[in-house]
């Protein structure tokens, strides 16, 4: 009986590790990408803030195989209320905004292929929110309260990069009342300093 329980516990632990790996990996990526000043105590990470980055061969945060777009990124905290995502009219220019949940599954794709290129406003809604959205907002339901938004706008080359970036900078994040949605939370220094693969079992499961 004892050997059976030991093997069963081991099997459950392996399954839990597989199930939780993406969650922990995504959380570490969130903190690495949004930390404001790693030297302060406690260091803080900012959610609901758009970061525009230049992607070149030296960029190693995540896999970025394409060099035909300019990028922006935001990690969303939907635990309080929806975050409103506004995009400008791109005048036919290709763009796409991929939104993934805390497991790294893409649950929404906003852009020319799916929603067109006219200006639009979308409310990214967490799984527990029960309110009513104002008119003119299209609801996008997230399965988790953490979401990762990755925006890409087509750039036709170096001469076109600035114009593409100007479009990117017109993308906005707000609360429903148009105020700043920034949320600051302390960084988990263990995750910041250690790769997920280097965590001991207890630290992994606690995270």
* pTM for the structure as a whole: 0.86
For residue 145, the tally of other CB atoms under 10 A from its CB is: 16
**Domain spans of the chain?**
2-43+187-206, 46-185
pLDDT for 13: 84
CA dist 84 and 78 (Å) reads 10
pLDDT for 51: 87
What CATH class does 46-185 carry?
mainly beta
Instruction: Tell whether the model's pLDDT for residue 121 goes beyond 90.
Output: yes
Instruction: Tell whether the model's pLDDT for residue 57 goes beyond 60.
Output: no
Tens-place pLDDT, residues 143-194: 999 999 999 999 988 889 899 999 999 999 999 999 999 999 999 888 888 8
Instruction: Out of 35-44, 90-99, 130-139, pick the least confident.
Output: 35-44
Q: What percentage of the chain carries pLDDT values higher than 90?
A: 60
Give, for 15, the enclosing helix (H) or strand (E): helix 2-34
Q: How far is CA 35 from the centre of its chain?
A: 14
pLDDT for 59: 61
Please answer whether residues 80 and 102 qualify as being in contact, where contact means their C-beta atoms are separated by less than 8 angstroms: no
Instruction: Tell whether the model's pLDDT for residue 2 goes beyond 70.
Output: yes
CA dist 165 and 171 (Å) reads 10
């Amino acid at each position: 009986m004892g050997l059976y329980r030991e093997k069963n516990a081991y099997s459950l632990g392996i399954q839990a590790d597989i199930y939780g790996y993406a969650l922990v990996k995504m959380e570490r990526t969130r903190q690495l990408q949004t930390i404001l000043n790693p030297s302060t105590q406690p260091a803080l990470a900012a959610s609901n803030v758009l970061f525009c980055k230049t992607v070149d061969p030296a960029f190693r945060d995540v896999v970025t195989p394409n060099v035909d777009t300019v990028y922006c990124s935001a990690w969303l905290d939907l635990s309080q209320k929806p975050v409103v995502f506004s995009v400008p009219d791109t005048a036919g220019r290709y763009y796409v905004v991929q939104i993934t949940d805390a497991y790294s599954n893409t649950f929404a794709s906003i852009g020319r292929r799916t929603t067109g290129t006219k200006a639009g406003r979308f409310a990214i809604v967490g799984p527990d929110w029960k309110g009513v959205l104002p008119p003119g907002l299209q609801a996008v339901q997230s399965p988790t309260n953490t979401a990762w938004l990755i925006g890409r706008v087509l750039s036709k080359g170096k001469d076109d990069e600035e114009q593409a970036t100007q479009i990117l900078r017109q993308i906005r994040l707000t609360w429903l009342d148009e105020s700043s949605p920034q949320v600051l939370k302390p960084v988990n220094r263990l995750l910041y300093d250690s790769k997920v693969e280097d965590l001991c079992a207890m630290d992994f499961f606690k995270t």
